[in-house]
Amino acid sequence: MVRQEGTKRLDANLAYRKVLAKDLKNLRQIGERSYGDPGHFNKQIKEILGYYRTDYPDLMKR
Protein backbone atom coordinates (compact mmCIF):
# COMPACT_ATOMS: atom_id res chain seq x y z
CA MET A 1 0.00 0.00 0.00
CA VAL A 2 2.82 2.44 0.82
CA ARG A 3 4.42 1.84 -2.56
CA GLN A 4 1.17 2.70 -4.34
CA GLU A 5 0.92 6.01 -2.50
CA GLY A 6 4.48 6.88 -3.47
CA THR A 7 3.82 5.95 -7.09
CA LYS A 8 0.61 7.95 -7.11
CA ARG A 9 2.47 10.99 -5.80
CA LEU A 10 5.24 10.66 -8.39
CA ASP A 11 2.81 10.08 -11.25
CA ALA A 12 0.65 13.08 -10.28
CA ASN A 13 3.18 15.48 -11.82
CA LEU A 14 3.62 13.55 -15.05
CA ALA A 15 1.70 13.88 -18.30
CA TYR A 16 -0.78 11.07 -18.93
CA ARG A 17 1.30 9.66 -21.81
CA LYS A 18 4.36 9.46 -19.56
CA VAL A 19 2.45 7.52 -16.89
CA LEU A 20 1.03 5.16 -19.52
CA ALA A 21 4.48 4.63 -21.05
CA LYS A 22 5.89 3.85 -17.60
CA ASP A 23 3.11 1.35 -16.92
CA LEU A 24 3.58 -0.36 -20.31
CA LYS A 25 7.33 -0.58 -19.68
CA ASN A 26 6.52 -2.29 -16.37
CA LEU A 27 4.35 -4.83 -18.22
CA ARG A 28 7.26 -5.59 -20.55
CA GLN A 29 9.58 -6.05 -17.58
CA ILE A 30 7.09 -8.43 -15.96
CA GLY A 31 6.87 -10.36 -19.23
CA GLU A 32 10.65 -10.67 -19.33
CA ARG A 33 10.98 -11.76 -15.70
CA SER A 34 7.99 -14.08 -15.58
CA TYR A 35 7.91 -15.55 -19.08
CA GLY A 36 11.37 -14.83 -20.51
CA ASP A 37 9.78 -12.66 -23.21
CA PRO A 38 9.37 -8.89 -22.94
CA GLY A 39 6.77 -9.12 -25.71
CA HIS A 40 4.58 -11.57 -23.79
CA PHE A 41 1.91 -8.90 -23.19
CA ASN A 42 2.15 -7.20 -26.60
CA LYS A 43 -1.39 -8.17 -27.59
CA GLN A 44 -2.81 -6.70 -24.39
CA ILE A 45 -0.66 -3.58 -24.72
CA LYS A 46 -1.97 -3.03 -28.26
CA GLU A 47 -5.53 -3.41 -26.96
CA ILE A 48 -4.90 -0.87 -24.20
CA LEU A 49 -3.40 1.61 -26.65
CA GLY A 50 -6.25 1.08 -29.11
CA TYR A 51 -8.79 1.69 -26.37
CA TYR A 52 -7.24 4.99 -25.34
CA ARG A 53 -6.69 6.13 -28.94
CA THR A 54 -10.35 5.44 -29.75
CA ASP A 55 -12.10 6.52 -26.55
CA TYR A 56 -9.72 9.19 -25.23
CA PRO A 57 -7.76 10.58 -28.19
CA ASP A 58 -7.00 13.84 -26.39
CA LEU A 59 -5.06 11.97 -23.71
CA MET A 60 -2.90 10.38 -26.37
CA LYS A 61 -1.83 13.66 -28.00
CA ARG A 62 1.77 14.71 -27.52
Domain ranges within the chain, ordered by starting residue:
15-60
**What pLDDT score was predicted for residue 40?**
97
pLDDT tens digits, residue range 2-48?
456 677 777 888 888 999 999 999 999 999 999 999 999 999 999 99
CB 45, CB 27: distance < 8 Å: yes
Distance CA(17)–CA(56), nearest Å, equals 12
**What pLDDT score was predicted for residue 12?**
84
pTM: 0.77
